Chains A and B, each alone.
Chain A
C-alpha cells in the first residue's frame, strides 16, 4: 500500500517521526494488554480503551512545553502514557494495586500526576471542561505563559457546562486549548443522532473562539494544528478549539458489543487510515528505518508493556488502612 500523504506540511525529523511511532505503539500495545487483563478478571469495573485515537494525544504532546497542563475524561490511559507517566503505575492502578498511581483508590478513570501536570482522569462527562479552564485561569493569574490542553469527546460537547466554560474562557482570555476528540460515537449514539450542528468546533464562534477541524488519524496534521493553537494561547489571544476527527476501534468500554456500527466500518478505518501504519509507512518510505528497526522497536515496547503487566499483577492490593486515608489533606 502506498503511504498516505500527510495532510500537513511539516519538516518533521526522522528522530521525531520515530518518537511518534514509539509513543503511539506504546499506547496501542498497553491498551491491548489492558483489554487482555480485563478479560482475565484482573481489571474490574469500567475500562475505556484508546485504541485508534493514539495520534491525537501524541501529536498534541509534541507541542507542549514544561509547565503546560493537561486534563481529560475517563478514556485517559493514552494521555497518561503520552505525557510520560510510568506505564507500571498506570497498569497497577487499573488492577487496583498499591503500586498504582492513585494507590489503587482511583482506578481506570481517576488518575493524576502533579509531577507531569496531568490533572485527571475524570468520570463525569463534560465536568473536566470547566476544570481545564480553571487550570488555565491559575496560570493566567500567576502571569506565566503555560497553556492547558482540555480534552473531551463529541459526547461531552453537548453538555451545557462546556458552553458556560467557552463563554468565560473567552471573556477572561484564558490560555486553554479545547480539544474535542471526535471519535464519531458518544457511547452508542453517533454524532449525527445527537446534534444537527454540522460541526462541533464551529460552535465556538458563538463565543468568538477560533478553531478548526483536524485529521486525527495523521499525527503530523495534529501536531501542526496543535502548534497553531499553542502559539495562539501563549500569545495571550485566549482559548482555541481543535476538533480532531478520530476513531476508536474498540467499544465504548469493555462491556460494549458495539452493535451500532458495522464491522466493515471499523475494518475500513483500520486498514486505510490507521495512524500508526501511516507513520510506519512514512518511516519506511523515507528510509528513516528498516523493517528490522521497527521490529526491534516492537520488541522493546512489548517488553515495557509486559513489565507493566507483571508489575500490576505482583503489586499487592492496598493496605486495608488505606480505606481511611486521603479523605482530608
Chain B
C-alpha cells in the first residue's frame, strides 16, 4: 500500500522548512534508518530518515523548494512491485495531527479588578481554647519540641543537616534530639547542601518525611534547584501521583554583623513558587504550631526562622498536640486607623511602632501573616476595608517583595477602600554591609514604620 512521506517537524519551533536535497531518487529501495533527504530548519540542516521500508514511488516536492509546510506530502513510498497511485487518487497518508490547541484558554482566571462587594470574613478563631495553661518558652525550645513531638508521633520523620546531631545544632535547635532518637533519625551530613537537599527530596519520594536543616537559608541557594525543580514541581509533573512531603528549615534573613552573603531574606523568593508552602513564624507558639503542621503537610514546606528571634521568649500553650493551620493570619493588635501587615522578625518593628503610635492616639491593626504561601489575603482585605490604610513591613529587598504582592491584591480587590497609597517597607536595596552603622541603616526600623503610618494617616 502506498504511503505519503510527509514534511517532518524537526525542532520544537519548526513550522516550515527548505527541502534542501534529496538523497534518494524515484525507484530506489529504502529501509528504516536510510537518509531520504536533507531539510533545513530554522536552526540547522537535518537529515531526514526513513521510518518504513519500501520503494520511492514518486517525489512530490523538488529539491531546493523553500517554505515547505510541516506535514505536506513530499514523496510517495510504495511496496516492491506496486504502482504509484494515479494523480488525484489518494495515497494512504499518515493521519494528520489532531488540533493541538484546545479551545482558546477559557480557564478560571484569577479574580479581576472588581470592587469586593462585601468584606471577606477571615478565620479569626483563637489558636487555643480559652483558659489553656501557658508556659514561657524561647523560639528555640519551641522548634525543638515541635520536631521531637512529631518524631515521637511518626517513625518516617527524621532530621538531617550540618551539625544537627553530635554538635547538637549550629544554633542548638536540634539539642537533645540525637540522645532521644539516635543516629538513624538524627543525621549529620557533610557540608554539601546541593547533595543532601536532593537526597532528602528522594527520601520523601520514597515515603519518608525528612526535615532538612540548612545552617542558614543563605546556603540553600546551592540547593535551590532541588527545592524548586525536584521538590515543588514533581506532584504536578506526575499528574498528582508523586508528592514530596519535606520540610526545609533554618535561619533566614539578617542576623548581626555577618554581612552580605549571610544576611538575606528569602521569603519573596520561595513564595514565588507554586508547589511550595512558605511559613515564617514570629512567636514561639507559632514556631511550634506551624512547624508541627509543616511536618505533617504532604507538600514541600519552606520554614524560615530567624537567628535573632531564637532566644526570644513567648507564651506557648501547654497542650499535648498544638498545631497552627497554614493560611491563617494572626491579628496581634486591633485598630481602626491603619493596617500594618508583617511576618517573622518584621513583626518586631510593627508591634513596637504600634505601641508608640497608640501613645499619639493612632490605633494600628497589626497582622502577622505567619505563612506567606498560602497567604491569608482575606484577613488583609477585611482589615484594609476597615482602616482604609496599609503599611507592609519586611526585611527582604524592595523589588518584587512580599509587600509588592500584597499591594497588588489590595489594589485589585479593595481599591475603592484605600484612602492613601500603600507603603511597602523593606530592607534597603543594597547588599548587607558589615559596618555596624551601615548595617543598621540597611535594615527596616521601628522609626520607619512609625513614619510610614503617619504618612498614610496624614497625621
28 contacts between A and B (CB under 8 A): A39-B6, A40-B96, A41-B97, A44-B12, A44-B100, A101-B239, A105-B237, A106-B238, A112-B241, A119-B205, A130-B202, A131-B202, A137-B206, A138-B208, A141-B203, A142-B207, A165-B198, A168-B189, A168-B199, A254-B11, A255-B10, A270-B33, A313-B98, A317-B100, A321-B108, A328-B277, A328-B299, A329-B235
Determine, out of B45-53, B146-154, B169-177, B287-295, the stretch whose residues face the partner at the interface. B45-53
| B229 close to A (CB within 8 Å) | yes
| B192 close to A (CB within 8 Å) | yes
List the A side residues contacting B108 at CB < 8 Å: 321, 324
Chain B interfacial positions (CB closer than 8 Å to A): 6, 8-12, 14, 32-33, 35, 41, 43-47, 49, 51, 70-71, 94-98, 100, 102-103, 105-108, 158, 184, 187, 189-190, 192, 194-208, 225-226, 229-230, 234-243, 245, 274-275, 277, 298-299
Which secondary structure characterizes the binding site on chain B? loop
Which of these, A38, A122, A321, A327, contacts B235 with CB under 8 Å? A327
List the A side residues contacting B105 at CB < 8 Å: 320
Contact A165-B199, Cβ < 8 Å, known A42-B98, A134-B204, A324-B108: yes
Contact A45-B12, Cβ < 8 Å, known A106-B238, A326-B235, A328-B275: yes
Which of these, A32, A44, A164, contacts B51 with CB under 8 Å? A32
List the A side residues contacting B198 at CB < 8 Å: 127, 129-131, 133-134, 161, 165
Contact with B along A149-176 (1 / 0, CB 8 A): 0000000000011001101100110000
- Further 7 A-B residue pairs, CB within 8 A, beyond A45-B12, A110-B234, A255-B46: A40-B8, A40-B71, A114-B241, A120-B238, A168-B196, A255-B10, A313-B97
Complex contact A320–B190 (CB within 8 A): no
CB distance from B288 to the nearest CB of A (A): 23
| A102 close to B (CB within 8 Å) | yes
In angstroms, Cα B33 to Cα A270, docked, is 10
| A77 close to B (CB within 8 Å) | no
List the A side residues contacting B10 at CB < 8 Å: 39, 254-255
Contact A168-B195, Cβ < 8 Å, known A41-B9, A138-B208: yes
List the B side residues contacting A2 at CB < 8 Å: none
CB distance from B231 to the nearest CB of A (A): 10
Complex contact B242–A127 (CB within 8 A): no
Contact A326-B240, Cβ < 8 Å, known A134-B201, A141-B158: yes
Which of these, A123, A270, A327, contacts B274 with CB under 8 Å? A327
In angstroms, Cα B184 to Cα A134, docked, is 14
The 10 tightest CB contacts between A and B, nearest first, are: A134-B202, A130-B198, A138-B206, A164-B195, A39-B8, A255-B11, A103-B239, A131-B202, A329-B298, A102-B239
Which of these, A35, A44, A320, contacts B102 with CB under 8 Å? A320
List the A side residues contacting B96 at CB < 8 Å: 40
Complex contact B229–A127 (CB within 8 A): yes
Contact A131-B230, Cβ < 8 Å, known A32-B32, A313-B98: yes
Query: In the complex, what residue of chain A is closest to B233 when comparing beta carbons?
Result: A110
Contact A138-B207, Cβ < 8 Å, known A313-B98, A328-B235: yes
| A239 close to B (CB within 8 Å) | no
| A325 close to B (CB within 8 Å) | yes
Complex contact B274–A167 (CB within 8 A): no
Those of A53-96 within 8 Å (CB) of chain B: 69, 71, 96
List the A side residues contacting B44 at CB < 8 Å: 255, 257, 259
CB distance from B245 to the nearest CB of A (A): 8
Those of A183-207 within 8 Å (CB) of chain B: none
In angstroms, Cα B41 to Cα A275, docked, is 32
Chain A interfacial positions (CB closer than 8 Å to B): 32-33, 35-36, 38-42, 44-46, 69, 71, 96, 100-106, 110-114, 119-124, 127, 129-139, 141-142, 160-161, 164-165, 167-168, 171-172, 249, 254-255, 257-259, 263, 270, 313, 317, 320-321, 323-329
In angstroms, Cα B223 to Cα A218, docked, is 38
List the B side residues contacting A136 at CB < 8 Å: 202
In angstroms, Cα B243 to Cα A326, docked, is 9
Which of these, B33, B45, B192, B205, contacts A164 with CB under 8 Å? B192
List the B side residues contacting A121 at CB < 8 Å: 237
In angstroms, Cα B49 to Cα A270, docked, is 14
In angstroms, Cα B274 to Cα A323, docked, is 12
Contact A171-B6, Cβ < 8 Å, known A102-B241, A131-B202, A327-B235: no
In angstroms, Cα B236 to Cα A123, docked, is 14
Complex contact A135–B205 (CB within 8 A): yes
In angstroms, Cα B102 to Cα A324, docked, is 16
List the B side residues contacting A160 at CB < 8 Å: 194
In angstroms, Cα B289 to Cα A308, docked, is 50
List the B side residues contacting A111 at CB < 8 Å: 238
In angstroms, Cα B194 to Cα A220, docked, is 36
